[in-house]
Amino acid sequence: MAERGVAVSEAAVGRRRVLLAAPRSFCAGVERAIDVVELALQRYGRPVYVRRQIVHNTHVVRDLESKGAVFVGELEDVPDGAVVVLAAHGVAPAVREQATRRSLLTIDATCPLVAKVHREARRYADAGYAIVLVGHADHEEIVGTVGEAPDDIAVVTSLDDVIDLRVPDDRRVAYLTQTTLATDETGQVVEALRARFAELEGPAADDICYATQNRQDAVRLLAAECDLILVVGSRNSSNSNRLVEVSRRAGCPAHLIEDESEIDPSWIDGAATIGLTAGASAPEAIVQRVVDALAPDEVVERHLVGESVHFTLPPEVR
């Protein structure tokens, strides 16, 4: 790691400035999910099982594993009667039912903003609407939401999907969205849905979470000043990938990196101003390691907006 950092710091000629996006890194939902696992370990002892990655970040998962968390793919891998935490992305009702049948002590770390989308899905399905869910079909958040009303939900990702969409009644259609999408692209899809379904219903408040939107807006702010933007986050982190896309659409080259070891010196050769941000599931400590590896002459924080959101912990760990 250190050797790579030295190589990177010598890769470009001349002065280098790093602009840090603010806000960046953990959101309230991620902080809550991590706290749930750590508090469960303190209260119930080792091991505490976690279904899937608690959040989509390799460093977070490894750190929790070192403290006694055991990550599993499905509940079949959890011993009867054990403590299990459900990840921040949410699960289908069938998963909770399985946990009850297995007598598992279940702690739900679903982000409250994802839980809001689940409630909206149930409400629209109960009212007889066909639900169009905008998102990536293979993402855990979408899989969990579809599980709330599998016969009533169609997943769309692109404008082409909207064209091909078939619903039982054009007058009874509602839309919901994944919380970690790019706001500009999602807006285009929703507008296409509105153009096709004149009586389209939607949530009272945007499903895309405040943290996702704030981090994307901060990247747009940086893009105008930077030669390159680096986004700290894991490959399977939807919101981190969207930050890369937002930067590129704004005309600034961008790369997703797990940590400082993935910086390619050719990216920063000649880059006088490098923007740096992190997805909502990426630790701030990794951001600081990337700053050290870049060895800038100046570090400046570009502050867009403050965040003061906090979510209540589940009763099992309060």
Residue pLDDT, tens place only, 187-219: 999 999 999 999 999 998 889 999 999 999 999
- Does residue 137 have a pLDDT over 60? yes
State pLDDT tens for residues 254-295.
999 999 999 999 999 999 999 999 999 999 999 999 999 999
pLDDT of residue 11: 44
For residues 183 and 130, state if they share a domain. yes
For residues 86 and 139, state if they share a domain. no
For residues 160 and 236, state if they share a domain. no
Is there a domain that residue 66 lies in?
Answer: yes
Is there a domain that residue 95 lies in?
Answer: yes
pLDDT, mean over the chain: 95
Segment 227-233 mean pLDDT: 98
Task: Print the domain residue range for 100.
Answer: 28-110
Is there a domain that residue 311 lies in?
Answer: no
- Does residue 7 have a pLDDT over 90? no
Segment 158-166 mean pLDDT: 96
For residues 101 and 186, state if they share a domain. no
Global pTM reads 0.93
Residue 2 pLDDT class (50, 70, 90 cuts): very low
Is there a domain that residue 171 lies in?
Answer: yes
Is there a domain that residue 313 lies in?
Answer: no
140 counts as catalytic: no
Q: Which of 196, 223, 257 is the last residue of a domain?
A: 196
CATH for 93: 3.40.50.11270
Segment 21-37 mean pLDDT: 98
For residues 226 and 191, state if they share a domain. no
Q: Which of 67, 89, 110 is the last residue of a domain?
A: 110
For residues 174 and 189, state if they share a domain. yes
Active-site choice (31, 97, 140, 141): 141
Residues 89, 110: contact at Cβ < 8 Å? Answer: yes
- Does residue 3 have a pLDDT over 60? no
Give the number of domains in the chain. Answer: 3
Is there a domain that residue 203 lies in?
Answer: no
The residues, any chain, with a CB within 8 Å of residue 283's CB and separated by 6 or more, are 25, 26, 57, 59, 60
For residues 129 and 167, state if they share a domain. yes
Adjacent-strand bridge partners of 154: 132
pLDDT of residue 78: 98
Q: Which of 146, 162, 196 is the last residue of a domain?
A: 196
